[in-house]
Structure 1
Amino acid sequence: MTTAIDSLLQILDLETLEHNLFRGRSPQVGWQRVFGGQVIGQALVAASRTVVEDRQVHSLHGYFMRPGDPSVPIIYEVDRIRDGGSFTTRRVVAVQHGQAIFSMSASFKVPEEGFDHQIGMPEVPMPEDLPSEKEMAARMPDTVPENIRKYWERERPIELRPVDLTHYFSSKALPPKQYVWVRASSALPDDPRIHQCVLAYASDMTLLDTSMFPHGKSVFLPEIQAASLDHAMWFHRPFRADEWLLYAEDSPSAYGALGMNRGLLYNRDGVLVASTAQEGLIRRKKPRE
């Protein structure tokens, strides 16, 4: 039986078409558009396959330009911008129907010793003390909106355990921050690049939601049009994406239908392994006349 994580690994295993040219596919699960994290993860796979093994990604910066069409493959073209003594730079463009839907720059670096500090992890309950999504759906079948309950019940490659559930079933205005434990739903191969690409995939989950908290809204509401516009990620230290990571998120600003969001990812020992930043569209849909 194919698990959700097997399907994700298949999606991230791009087909090589030609030198610097790769093809990726989307899961056929009825999505109207391609999940942004999928495009980020696949673009990172494409870039990584053109970089020597001893260099690991330390940062990526991407822009979403058009919604992806899940019914057709995505072509990823890699531009080998620079291979330096310490750093390697790649640019990736994702194309569908002859048009760019996403572009990304990624930088890779050789390992070396250096200064080391980090800010501490917030004090929150550990994942074992929190319910799984299926447990949440079972506990609150009549309290949570049906679309959210179905989302919780669906088998997905990334498991989420939010510290606070208030925003799922309340219109109460909340502080613009949230904490979510995340991990791959099954064990992953030991290749560090797979863990980086899976975390890149997962990093687009829940982040944009944070900018809706102060307004008592949710990206699940039909009145809200929400979409990731750009996404940046920095990889600081080694990690495993199949072990629990705390995603500490906040939203310092929302204005002009744009929400700004930041995230820090810690392992359960409090080690900061990655950071994210994203701006997204959060627009009230105009009522139909």
Structure 2
Amino acid sequence: MSGDAPDRDPVESLLEVLDLDDTRARTSEDIFTGVSQAMPMGRVYGGQVLAQSLVAASRTLPPERIPHSMHGYFLRPGDASQGITFSVDRIHDGRSFSTRRTQAFQQGVPIFSMISSFQDEDPGFDHQFPMPEAIPAPESLPDFEASLEGVHPTTKRIFTDRPVELRHVQAPIFLSVDDTPRPHQAVWMRTRRPLPDDPAVHRATLAYLSDMTIQEPILRAHRLTWAKPGLKVASLDHAMWWHRFGRVDEWILYVQESPSARGGRGLANGRIYSRDGALLASVAQEIMVRVADDR
């Protein structure tokens, strides 16, 4: 399978990559296959393989048993021109919880490995950390894509081919960054058009976008832009906890901070809120980050 043509509707492309094929070849594992989205730099976007791995695991469970956590490792860069095979191992099924291990392969080699846990809806205690106050509405923030007129088409597609639109509360760091180190930021996100009402699609899409911009608090802490010559960034692992359901075709707020960076690695934490302040999910990711010697 090959990636999608660059002129396709990006939301249609997203829904296609989430619609895995079941090969029905279950022995000790369940096997699924999926396509990859075309990417300007040729590498599979990490959020895509996160979401697809979650979909594969979910396909082995009844719909009422929904994901509440996942922990995954990015093992190798994926090739966006190739499809991906997903193998799911049914580790445990209990009365309330199920555990699945999913591995994603290209050319017979694993590129991502994940363990996820699922639970039936259950009553219990309910509290949350509140959404930050005094956050500007997304409609009041500048649209970075509107400033891309005259930019090289390949560079422009990095932003415009995404199925998700962004509004940074602090100025985005694609091309420039302020002089004060700030290891935190907040970003509004939503898909570019409505998604189907299926809650499973929204949960998988939330995983998809959880890998988007989470690296930036680490870069802000060291006044780095994405355009910095010699900058190398790669996601090492990713953890996510789903707390409450929310639609991702409506504006959601991704609040992020970086508590530490050392030894060529940086850690970022994130909280995702609905517009009315419900805490939908928590995220943690560690990245490799290196800058070539300026000499």
Aligned 8 A contact 1:137 1:152 in 2: no
Aligned 8 A contact 2:72 2:112 in 1: yes
Partner of 2:132: 122
Aligned 8 A contact 1:80 1:90 in 2: yes
Pairing 1:262-273 to 2, within 5 Å after superposition: 262-273=269-280
Deviation at 1:209, TM superposition (A): 1.6
Aligned 8 A contact 1:136 1:152 in 2: no
2-structure distance, mates of 1:93, 1:153: 29
Q: Which of 156, 159, 169 is matched with 1:150 structurally?
A: 156
User: CA 1:125 to 1:151, structure 2 compared with 1: closer, same or farther past 3 Å?
Assistant: farther
Q: Does 1:58 align with 2:71?
A: no
Partner of 1:176: 183
2-structure distance, mates of 1:69, 1:166: 27
User: CA 1:97 to 1:286, structure 2 compared with 1: closer, same or farther past 3 Å?
Assistant: farther
User: CA 1:271 to 1:136, structure 2 compared with 1: closer, same or farther past 3 Å?
Assistant: farther
Aligned 8 A contact 1:46 1:76 in 2: yes
One-letter amino acid of the counterpart of residue 12, structure 1: L
- Match of 2:200, SS state, is helix
2-structure distance, mates of 1:110, 1:225: 41
Deviations 1:170-201 (A, max 9, x none): 36242100000011111111111100111101
Structure 1, unaligned stretches of length 5 or more? Answer: none
Deviation at 1:30, TM superposition (A): 3.7
Aligned 8 A contact 2:273 2:279 in 1: yes
Aligned 8 A contact 2:217 2:257 in 1: yes
User: CA 1:87 to 1:208, structure 2 compared with 1: closer, same or farther past 3 Å?
Assistant: same
One-letter amino acid of the counterpart of residue 48, structure 1: S
Deviation at 1:163, TM superposition (A): 0.6
Deviation at 1:253, TM superposition (A): 0.3
1-structure distance, mates of 2:172, 2:190: 22
RMSD: 2.1
Partner of 2:3: none
Q: Does 1:11 align with 2:53?
A: no
Moved over 6 A (4+): 145-149
Deviations 1:199-240 (A, max 9, x none): 101000000121011211123323111011000000001111
User: CA 1:161 to 1:153, structure 2 compared with 1: closer, same or farther past 3 Å?
Assistant: same
1-structure distance, mates of 2:248, 2:49: 18
- Match of 2:173, SS state, is helix
2-structure distance, mates of 1:46, 1:65: 18
Structure 2, unaligned stretches of length 5 or more? Answer: 1-6
Q: Which of 247, 255, 262 is matched with 2:262 structurally?
A: 255
Q: Which of 164, 182, 200 is matched with 1:193 structurally?
A: 200
Q: Does 1:112 align with 2:119?
A: no
1-structure distance, mates of 2:146, 2:80: 30
Pairing 1:65-76 to 2, within 5 Å after superposition: 65-76=75-86
Q: Does 1:135 align with 2:146?
A: yes
Aligned 8 A contact 1:91 1:105 in 2: yes
The number of residues matched between the two structures is: 283
Deviations 1:38-60 (A, max 9, x none): 11011011001111111110001
Q: TM-score with structure 1 length normalisation?
A: 0.92
1-structure distance, mates of 2:88, 2:227: 34
- Match of 1:50, SS state, is coil
One-letter amino acid of the counterpart of residue 131, structure 1: P
Q: Does 1:93 align with 2:103?
A: yes
User: CA 1:136 to 1:247, structure 2 compared with 1: closer, same or farther past 3 Å?
Assistant: farther
Q: Does 1:213 align with 2:220?
A: yes
One-letter amino acid of the counterpart of residue 137, structure 2: M
1-structure distance, mates of 2:130, 2:290: 34
Aligned-pair identity in percent equals: 46
Q: Does 1:282 align with 2:289?
A: yes
Partner of 1:160: 166
Deviation at 1:287, TM superposition (A): 7.0
Q: TM-score with structure 2 length normalisation?
A: 0.90
Q: Which moved more, 1:108-117 or 1:169-178?
A: 169-178
User: CA 1:166 to 1:31, structure 2 compared with 1: closer, same or farther past 3 Å?
Assistant: closer
